[in-house]
Amino acid sequence: MSFGPFLLLALLEGTVMAAVLALTAVGLSLVFGVMRVVNVAHGEFFMVGAVLAWFVTTYLPFPPALSWLVALIIAPLIVAAIAALADTLILKRLTYDPEATIVATIGILYMLQQAVLTLYGPDARPVPAPFEWRIQTPWFGYSGYKLFVVAASGAILTAVWLFMTRSRAGLVMRATQVDRDIARAFGINVDRVYAGTFALGAGLAAVAAVLIVPIQQAHYLMGHDPLLLSFVVVIIGGLGSIRGTLVAALVIGLSDGVISMFFSPTLAKILATLLVAMVLVFRPQGLFGAKA
């Protein structure tokens, strides 16, 4: 394949990856930003979202597009409810101590994963895309659904941004992020804000999963990769900075496709992992975040 189309494909794939990364990571970033909680179970919320999408699309007698739309609404709601429950029952009682919450979310990770193994089984199962549409260029074909994923991610991220900057709830969340005690002094119910934030973060992971599952398969171990990638994006973008997260997702998504053309993909992963470690050590505010 000549260089032009090659680059086009790399850019297309990079954009899809960036969109998916941004959507998956933004929830993690939000939870860390507002609650200072590193949610290691984030990938499992993603996975539960995908598995719920399988259940909904399999058992609802609607055409694929409709049942997928239903899944897009129901799965995040259920996941958000699970997250709110986990927050109330577990994280709140730990008073959000950073280290204890990490251990607890590792525990939640195993519990969710194993619960899905029991209820859903170990198989990878496909979820049909809401529509099948292939774009044919002179050099290669491309999935139209993937382009839809990019558009949908953009729309959802815009909605999140509007919610955070324009709505009262978003304002309350940002106030709590700045100072939990002052927020409490102003009569903000911090417990509810936290539960809501945790639910929102998990719900966003589930939305990402429902969008992505038609191009992957629902599998009980699928949460591992999104978790690590989200970590990479959130840390390089600056812990807790949503804008940094988005920039990092774009940079990493676009560069990953190109880098893995020149290096072995395993080597690319090694370099990305080490980069994260080095960023935390030498530039904890992230590469794109403002200085704390």
Partner 1 sequence: MTRKLTGLTASRRAVLQGAGAGLLTAGFVAPIWAQAAPIKLGFQLHRTGIGAAYGRWYERTAQAALKMVNDAGGINGRPVEIVFEDDGTDPKRGAEVVEKLTRQHNCDLIFGPLFSHVVIGSAPRAGELKVPYLVCSEGFHVAGGKLNRWSMQPGITDVRAQVQSMAPWVLANLGKKVTMVFPDYAFGHDHRDYFTAAVEAGGGKVLAQIAIPPTETTFTRYMPQIPTDTEVLYHVMVGPAVLTFVKELGEFYGSGAKPQIFGFIDSLEAVDMASPGLEFLEGSHFWEGHCRNKQPDAPDYEATYRAAVGVDDNGASVSDPKDISTYGHMFSVWETLHIIKAGMESAGYQGAADRQKFVEAVEAMTVIPASLAHVQGEKVFNGKTHQVFGLQFISRVEGGKLVKVHTSSMEDGMYPDAVDFSTQSF
Partner 2 sequence: MKVWALHLAVVAALFALQFVLPPYHATNLARIMVLAVFAMGYNIAFGYTGLLSLGHAVFFAAGMFGMGLPVWHLDWTALPALITGLAAGGLVAGAVGLLALRTAGVSFMIVTLMFAQAGYLLLLYFGAVTGGDEGFVVETSSRSVFGWNLSEDGPRYVAALTLFAAALLSCLWLVRSPFGRVMVAMRENEDRSRMLGYNPFRVKLIALVMSGLYAGAAGAVYGLLFGYVGATFATIQYSILPMLYVLLGGAGTVLGPLLGAAVVFYLIDITSAFTDAYFFVVGASLVALVLFAPKGILGTIRERVAAWLP
Binding site for partner 1 (CB under 8 A): 1, 5-6, 9-10, 13, 17, 117, 121-124, 126, 128-129, 132, 134, 136, 138-143, 215-217, 219, 221-222, 224-225, 257, 260-261, 264-266, 269
Q: Mark 235-253 as b/e (b = at least 16 C-beta within 10 Å).
A: bbbbbbbbebbbbbbbbbb
Give the number of C-alpha atoms closer than 13 A to the C-alpha of residue 5, restricted to the C-beta side: 9
Please identify, using beta-carbon distances, which residue of 214 and 286 lies nearer to partner 2.
286
| Identified binder of partner 2 from the candidate list 141, 168, 185, 281, rule CB under 8 A | 281
In angstroms, rounded to a whole number, what is the distance separating the alpha carbons of residues 67 and 61?
A: 8
Q: Closest approach of Cβ 266 to partner 2, in Å? A: 5
Nearest distance from C-beta of residue 288 to partner 1, angstroms: 24
- Distance CA(284)–CA(291), nearest Å, equals 9
Residue 9 interacting partner from partner 1, partner 2, none (CB closer than 5 to 8 Å by kind): partner 1
**Residue 172 near which of partner 2, partner 1, none (CB within 5-8 Å, type-dependent):** none
> Considering the rule CB under 8 A, would residue 124 count as an interface residue with partner 2?
no
Residues 219/263, Cβ–Cβ less than 8 Å = no
**Nearest distance in Å: CB 178, partner 1:** 37
Binding mask 15-54 for partner 2 (x = CB under 8 A): -----------------------x----------------
Cα 227 to the chain's mean position, in Å? 8
Residues 30 and 197: beta-carbon distance below 8 Å: yes
Residue 132 or 179: which CB sits closer to partner 1?
Answer: 132
* Footprint (CB under 8 A) of partner 2, residues 83-112: 90, 93-94, 98-100, 102-104, 106-112
Distance CA(196)–CA(177), nearest Å, equals 13
Give the length of the chain.
Answer: 292
Quote the crossing angle between the two packed helices 190-212 and 144-166, to the nearest 10°.
170
Return the number of the residue (31 or 53) whose C-beta is nearest partner 1. Answer: 53
- Which helix (H) or strand (E) is 217 found in, with range? strand 217-218
DSSP 53-80: HHHHHHHS-S-HHHHHHHHHHHHHHHHH
Q: Which of partner 2, partner 1, none does residue 99 bind to, with CB < 5 to 8 Å depending on kind?
A: partner 2
Question: Among residues 130 and 286, whose Cβ is nearest to partner 2?
Answer: 286
Can you read off the two tokens belonging to residue 127?
């979820």
CB of 216 to partner 1, least distance (A): 5
- In 3D, which of 261, 238, 259, 240 has the Cα closest to residue 248? 238
Question: Interface with partner 2 by CB under 8 A: which residues?
Answer: 38, 90, 93-94, 98-100, 102-104, 106-115, 117-118, 122, 228, 231, 235, 264, 266-267, 269-270, 273-274, 276-278, 280-282, 284
